[in-house]
């Protein structure tokens, strides 16, 4: 029996405090980085979510000793790696379920001179090419092979990796993480230009520096890395998940709730709070907490010249693509109109069909752009039965269901469980009517 659906009775205002989990995308990076040393690495604030648990299983399969110290803290030690695990059907199955598995490649290549990977999983939100990863590793001296029949990538570097100047062909979050992890153990100096600088990558670099790596330019798009012979163990605490924080801001606004997000590390949120304020959502910053007070209505700002607001995604420090679905759902009940322009992924907006079924006014202009005409609370959305196509659309639909009149059923919620820890229980603690049901 699979409990892969949420039954939600919407329309109730929520209230209370909620603490964000540790960041999913940082977790996937720093977990892979534990492979770079034989010494123990302790990670705290690790979220208990499906993607993290799947990656922990993969690491165990590779022979990493994984010890849970407390609910969100783990010690990992990669002192005896079994490269034979690559040949097993379990590796193929599990690695192809998560995006994060792609970052196993560089540490294994750097330490053992070889790594294999089936096509990694993650959200089906458009083409997600891996060229940036492999071109980067090739420039560091690796040989690359892709077996298209098996959809398997392999890299080898029998003579080791050698530092070089690398202009990345696009700004890729996991691609940058891979190249950084290879460069820290390469001989000589590597310069990575056009590097991604999302907080996830910054945190990875900070952890690597703690482990003895020499990295300059953290937080910028030019990283200079001087290779070292070996890295040592460390302790590292993950940042709160900025995407969860944005999701909770959206939830509060849509459900007319008064919610306080605790310990949000506001200093690390970049442009995110401003983007929500542009949607007319009031945010009170109380120390490191963000309070979203109850608001009857919120009005989307226009640009200075009076033209219609556009929200678009961009690599950091631009607005993260992972909050675009949340922005879109918030807009459905705002006063005013907005153009949502999802530039980075081409299949992430199709879920608007479900919002339209719920009564939202949206024109999907093309796969990348949707115009939302806010209902300004004149009409409440209505509950429907729907299915979650990807993690962020799933949460956006959940927020819509919590604000809607009547009952909704959302299927395929393992998508949400990939990245949100016990979301049903945490929402119930705020007063939501949500149950996990068969389906
Ligand atoms: C496990 C993980 O960390 N996943 C995140 C990571 O995925 P991931 O690292 O896979 O994403 P990338 O940063 O490589 O790129 C995302 C997509 O955007 C496109 N692209 C990228 C840069 C650019 O300037 N223009 C452009 O169109 C790429 O071609 C790709 O299709 O970063 C994405 C972009 O923030 C996030 O959505 C994912 O949640
Ligand atoms: C797209 C996402 O995740 P992944 O890269 O793991 O598919 C996301 O977190 O929004």
Mutation pick for ligand 2 pocket among 47, 54, 123, 327 (CB with most ligand atoms within 8 Å)? 123
* 436: its two tokens: 């996990």
Q: Are 5-21+240-437 and 24-237 the same fold in CATH?
A: yes
- Each residue's pLDDT expressed in tens, for the chain with a length of 439 residues: 689 999 999 999 999 999 999 999 999 999 999 999 999 999 999 999 999 999 999 999 999 999 999 999 999 999 999 999 988 999 988 898 898 899 999 999 999 999 998 888 877 778 888 999 999 999 999 999 998 888 889 999 999 999 999 999 999 999 999 999 999 999 999 999 999 999 999 999 999 999 999 999 999 999 999 999 999 999 999 999 999 999 999 999 999 999 999 999 999 999 999 999 999 999 999 999 999 999 999 999 999 999 999 999 999 999 999 999 999 999 999 999 999 999 999 889 999 999 999 999 999 999 999 999 999 999 999 999 999 999 999 999 999 999 999 999 999 999 999 999 999 999 999 999 999 999 8
Q: Respond yes or no: is residue 123 known to be catalytic.
A: yes
**b vs e for 203-236, b when ≥16 Cβ sit within 10 Å of the residue's Cβ?**
bbbbbbbebbbebebbeebebbbbbbeebebbeb
**How much is the pTM?**
0.97
Beta-carbon count within 10 A of 73 CB:
16
- Pairing outcome for strands 407-411 and 385-387: parallel
CA distance 94 to 91: 5
314 alpha carbon – ligand 1 mean position (Å): 9
CA distance 99 to 416: 15
Nearest CA to ligand 2 atom 7: 122
**Residues lining ligand 2, judged by CB closer than 6 Å?**
24-25, 99, 122-123, 322, 391-392, 419
Query: What's the topology of domain 24-237?
Result: UDP-n-acetylglucosamine1-carboxyvinyl-transferase; Chain (3.65.10)
Provide the CATH number for the domain formed by 5-21+240-437 in this structure.
Answer: 3.65.10.10
CA distance 216 to 172: 19
Nearest CA to ligand 2 atom 10: 322
ipTM metric? 0.98
- Could you tell me the strand order of the sheet in which 222-226 lies? 165-167, 189-193, 222-226, 214-216
Can you name the residues that pair with 41 across neighbouring β-strands? 76, 234
Nearest CA to ligand 2 atom 9: 322
Phi and psi for 411 in degrees, rounded to 5?
-90, 170
Distance of CA 59 to the CA centre of its chain: 20
For the chain, what are the domain ranges? 5-21+240-437, 24-237
């Amino acid at each position: 029996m699979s409990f892969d659906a949420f039954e939600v009775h919407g329309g109730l205002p929520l209230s209370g405090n909620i603490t964000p989990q540790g960041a999913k995308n940082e977790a996937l990076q720093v977990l892979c980085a534990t492979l770079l040393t034989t010494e123990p690495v302790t990670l705290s604030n690790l979220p208990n979510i499906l993607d993290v648990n799947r990656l922990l299983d993969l690491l165990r399969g590779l022979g990493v000793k994984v010890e849970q110290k407390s609910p969100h803290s783990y010690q990992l030690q990669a002192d005896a790696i079994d490269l034979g695990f690559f040949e097993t059907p379990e590796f193929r199955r599990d690695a192809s379920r998560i995006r994060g598995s792609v970052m196993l490649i560089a540490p294994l290549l750097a330490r053992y001179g070889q790594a294999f990977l089936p096509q990694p999983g993650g959200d089906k939100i458009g083409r997600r090419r891996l060229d940036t990863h492999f071109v980067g590793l090739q420039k560091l001296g690796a040989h690359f092979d892709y077996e298209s029949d098996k959809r398997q990538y392999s890299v080898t570097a029998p003579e080791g990796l050698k530092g070089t100047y690398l202009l990345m062909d696009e700004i890729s979050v996991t691609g940058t993480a891979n190249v950084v992890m290879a460069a820290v153990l390469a001989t000589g100096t590597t310069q990575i230009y056009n590097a991604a600088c999302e907080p996830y990558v910054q945190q990875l670099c900070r952890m690597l520096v703690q482990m003895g790596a020499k990295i300059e330019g953290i937080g910028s798009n030019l990283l200079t890395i001087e290779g070292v012979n070996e890295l040592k163990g460390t302790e590292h605490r993950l940042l709160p998940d900025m995407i969860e924080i944005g999701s909770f801001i959206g939830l509060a606004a849509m459900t007319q709730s008064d919610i306080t997000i605790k310990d949000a590390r506001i200093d690390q949120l970049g442009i995110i709070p401003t983007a929500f304020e542009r949607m007319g959502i009031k945010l009170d910053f109380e120390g490191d907490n963000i309070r979203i007070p109850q608001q009857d209505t919120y009005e989307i700002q226009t640009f200075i010249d009076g033209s219609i607001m556009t929200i678009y995604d961009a690599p950091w420090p631009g607005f993260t693509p992972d909050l675009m679905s949340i922005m879109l759902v918030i807009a459905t009940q705002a006063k005013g109109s907005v153009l949502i322009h999802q530039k980075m992924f081409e299949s992430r907006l199709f879920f608007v069909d479900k919002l339209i079924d719920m009564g939202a006014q949206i024109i999907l202009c093309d796969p990348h752009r949707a115009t939302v005409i806010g209902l300004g609370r004149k009409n409440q959305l209505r509950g429907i039965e729907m299915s979650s196509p990807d993690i962020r659309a799933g949460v956006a639909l959940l927020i819509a269901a919590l604000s809607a009149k009547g009952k909704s059923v959302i299927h395929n919620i393992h998508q949400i469980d990939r990245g949100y820890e016990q979301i049903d229980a945490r929402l119930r603690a705020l007063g939501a009517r949500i149950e996990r049901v068969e389906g």
